Amino acid sequence: MENQGHCLTSFQRKLLLKSLQADLRPEYRRRIEIMLMADQGQSQSQICAALNCSQETSRYWIYMAEVGQAHQWSDRPMGRPKAVNDDYLNRLRELVSQSPREYGYSFRLWTARWLSRHLAQETGIEVSDRHINRLLKDMGLSTRQKNNSVTEAVNSPECNDSNIAIHDLGSSSSSNLLWPLNLIQTSH
């Protein structure tokens, strides 16, 4: 009769011992060692002292062994996943340089929210619109259009302090229509 452990089946124990023989990251090795030590009857404090790990880490992996989930030692990725890679950044740069209309959208200019949505559909990587703006800023890009025509029109000699310039913002054509309005002061 085989030696019975405290929380692992003989199959789980053999699987974990075999996994220890592989070239593992230290964090994965520690997970397996925690479960094997718990199976041998060692306490949480003994495990923490021997493996130099936190109580939270040991508690979690002891629990996983106790509930029969020892095989999941490699299922939980280590640390925070790096979602944005070079391919993502290159695609973001490419999208910003093109019109959203080329992708079937009705608007002329990208917003961070729409870039985020479009890239999530293409890549499966979800990034907040605030993070998109940070990435664009880091690349020296922006979703804001560099258009000085309105500023130039307002500062032009035709428009003085008593005039209002109305700029056709809805037009997709490149012509800029400006209609100066003279304000007339009326008395009541």
* pLDDT tens profile 130-181: 999 999 999 998 887 665 554 554 455 554 444 455 555 555 555 555 556 5
Asked which of 24, 39, 74 is the last residue of a domain, the reply is 74
| Mean model confidence pLDDT for the chain | 79
Does 68 lie in the same domain as 14?
Answer: yes
Q: What is the pLDDT of residue 72?
A: 81
Please tell me whether residue 170 adopts helix, strand or coil conformation.
coil
Residue 143 belongs to a domain? no
pLDDT band, very low/low/confident/very high, at 2 (cuts 50, 70, 90): very low
In this structure, the answer to whether residues 14 and 70 fall within a common structural domain is yes
Q: Which pLDDT value is given to residue 45?
A: 93
Could you tell me if 20 and 67 lie in one domain? yes
Say if residue 25 is in the same domain as residue 57.
yes
Higher-pLDDT residue of 89, 72: 89
Quick check: 83 pLDDT over 60?
Answer: yes
| Residue 1, in any domain of the structure | no
Counting the structural domains of the chain, the total is 3
103 pLDDT above the threshold of 60: yes
pLDDT at 59 over 90: yes
- The reported pLDDT for the residue numbered 76 is 67
In sequence order, which residues have a C-beta less than 8 Å from that of residue 2 and are 6 or more positions away?
10
The residue written with tokens 């280590």 in the block is 78
- CB contact set of 53 (below 8 Å; sequence gap of 6+): 30, 34, 47
Do residues 70 and 33 lie in contact, with contact meaning Cβ atoms separated by under 8 Å? no
Q: What are phi and psi of 135, to 5 degrees?
A: -65, -45
48 and 20 in a single domain? The answer is yes
In this structure, the answer to whether residues 176 and 157 fall within a common structural domain is: yes
133 and 97, same structural domain?
A: yes
In a domain, 109, yes or no: yes
pLDDT of residue 1: 40
Section 80-87 average pLDDT:
72
31 Cβ neighbours under 8 A, 6+ residues apart: 61, 73
Q: Is residue 165 classed as helix, strand or coil in its secondary structure?
A: strand
Q: Does residue 103 sit in the same domain as residue 123?
A: yes
Check whether residue 131 and residue 154 sit in a common domain. Answer: no
Q: What residue numbers bound the domain in which 163 lies? A: 149-182
**Phi and psi, residue 64, nearest 5°:** -60, -40
Give yes or no: residues 18 and 54 share one domain. Answer: yes
Residues 112 and 154 in one domain: no
Amino acid 25: pLDDT = 83
